[in-house]
Homo-oligomer: A and B are copies of this chain.
Amino acid sequence: MPTGREIRLAARPNGMPRHGDFTLAEVDVPEPGPGEVLVRNLWMSVDPYMRPRMNDVPSYVPPYELGRVLDGPAVGAVVASRAEGLAPGDTVVHWQGWRDLALLGGHEARRVDTELAPAQAYIGVLGMSGLTAYVGLLDIAGLREGDVVFVSAAAGMVGSLAGQIARLRGHRTIGSAGTDAKVAHLRDDLGFDAAFNYRSGDVADLLREAAPDGIDVYFDNVGGDHLEAAIDVLREHGRVAMCGAISTYNSAGAALPTLRNQFKIVGKRLTLRGFIASDHMRRMREFREVAGPWLRDGRIVARETVFEGLEHAPDALIALLAGENVGKMLVRIA
């Protein structure tokens, strides 16, 4: 029986997670039974919503359990299969990240084509991250001609794709990020029309300066003062696609997010709509047909920040929550 390694939740964090909140454990992994596959993970994804899953609060995905292995998107190579249609050597995406060996039901693994794009693209730009950006802009915010689009956490994977999709569709696009280097990346590499470092002043002032005539769509990855600022600057009938609220995930006590201007949601007839990309899987094929050629032709830039080794997955999550990534945050497992 092969021995695998996995990352478990050792303690529920209070504020920013720390190394001691995770443990690395060895486990025996059984050979696949009928209908199962054994996968050696190559890459795993680290995503902001994993932070709220570390709390004992029910949400759209159940909280991580204390003492148990975490999970999340991963891509790997089939090493043994008793599942129809899957053979050793196949590359598959699935949901059992945070471990090096994954034993899966065949229906939990989906084969991907690594000739079209590298394996890790399927848990990033051509995976849920990309679908999130696409669905959030088109279906949730209902992007229409002439909309001015603002994206927060715009140097992250979802934000950078949302901004680039908006730009490719001809919209004036504004992004925020937390360092001057990221702001330069937004302007110079990703083609944002305007960008600002939200740490350099009051977010509403900075946004108003970047969008003096206002915005129509806000793609929100951040919440907190970004959301408040966007509500200030949105024009009438503006729309907010609420994708995440990373600024609030570690907050407690004095840092509790306000929404002082909530009456403006009424006065400007704004719509704020939360969404989860996994509700919209039916759009994945269309999204890949649209985004695949963009990626191949270099019209979309999809940067990666890579941590090496499963044992550094907790560091990758902590760095992500501290805003240290550019583009997709990945852990290379094998």
A residues at B contact (CB < 8 Å): 52, 59-60, 223-224, 227, 236, 242-245, 248-249, 251, 256-260, 262-276, 279
Q: Is the CB of A279 within 8 A of B269?
A: yes
Query: A257 CA to B245 CA in the complex, in Å?
Result: 17
Partner of A245, one of B227, B249, B258, B262: B262
A256: chain B residues within 8 A (beta carbon): 258, 260
Partner of A236, one of B60, B251, B269: B60
- Which residue of B has the minimal Cβ distance to A251? B260
Q: In the complex, how many angstroms separate the beta carbon of A163 from the nearest chain B beta carbon? A: 19
Q: In the complex, how many angstroms separate the beta carbon of A181 from the nearest chain B beta carbon? A: 28
A60: chain B residues within 8 A (beta carbon): 236, 267-269
Known A-B contacts A269-B275, A274-B270; the reply to A262 vs B259 at CB < 8 A is yes
Query: A272 CA to B240 CA in the complex, in Å?
Result: 10
Q: Is the CB of A266 within 8 A of B248?
A: no
A262: chain B residues within 8 A (beta carbon): 223-224, 227, 242, 245, 248, 257, 259
- Which residue of B has the minimal Cβ distance to A231? B274
Q: Is the CB of B279 within 8 A of A266?
A: no
Partner of A274, one of B59, B265, B276: B265
Query: A263 CA to B220 CA in the complex, in Å?
Result: 11
